Amino acid sequence: MKKIHNLFCLFFFIGLSPQFSYAQQNGSIAGRITTSDGKPAAFVSIGLKEIAVGQISDENGNYRINRVKPGTYTLKVRAVGLESQENQVTVNPGQTLTLNFTLLESAAKLKEVLVAGNKRNKFAKTESPFVSKMPLTNLENPQVYSVVTKELLNEQLIFTADEAVRNTPGIQKMWEATGRSGDGGSYFSSRGFIMQSQLRNGIAGL
């Protein structure tokens, strides 16, 4: 039994030896990044340009890059609103290189952000002849209403009134229809009032 135990330990350490050897062949880079006022610089990008390996600093400004092959690299530190830095570093096998950085505010400031879009809502309707029984545009009608067009119903493959009401803002479903004949559809809340959808022919849940 003791012999079997010794053989097991021998095979276990033999299996781990390549991992220890691999770990000793590589090095790592670690440190802390702060701003000019001494505060930790969080979510800063730190990377080695030659091998495209990097990390992001945590909330305390700490970072660590593991499993770096020995050699000389260009370590680049950059963040939005802060000046980037580049340093030549040499990584030795089995060692951790400690590098701390202090980043200054960038002189180049973002002056303006312009977001433009020209996509038109193909389901939008500028007027409705049903709300006021007159062909008025939405701006001319004093009532507040939402129009769910048949094109939108076809696009979303909607078959029930409950699904159609999801496209109207300010309306929340309270509970399902009772299913009784002539009782109508589900109950909804709008502007603090409870209302029920009354459907054609009194069919509930249509």
pLDDT digits (tens, 9 = 90+) for 64-120: 999 999 999 999 998 888 888 999 999 999 999 999 999 988 766 556 667 766 666
pLDDT at residue 189, as a whole number: 85
Full-model pTM: 0.44
Do the domain assignments include residue 19? Answer: no
Do the domain assignments include residue 55? Answer: yes
- Residue-range definition of the domain harbouring residue 147: 120-157
Classify 32 as helix, strand or coil: strand
Closest by CA to 175, choosing from 164, 162, 186, 184, is 186
Residue 29 pLDDT grade (very low, low, confident, very high; cuts 50, 70, 90) = very high
pLDDT at residue 20, as a whole number: 44
Residue 200 has pLDDT above 70, yes or no: no
pLDDT tens by residue, 119-135: 666 666 666 665 666 66
Report which residue type is found at 54.
G
Domain containing 87 — which CATH number?
2.60.40.1120
Torsions phi, psi of 74, nearest 5?
-105, 110
Strand pairing category for 82-91 and 71-79: antiparallel
Tell me the average pLDDT of the chain: 76
Same domain flag for 32 and 96: yes
Classify 42 as helix, strand or coil: coil
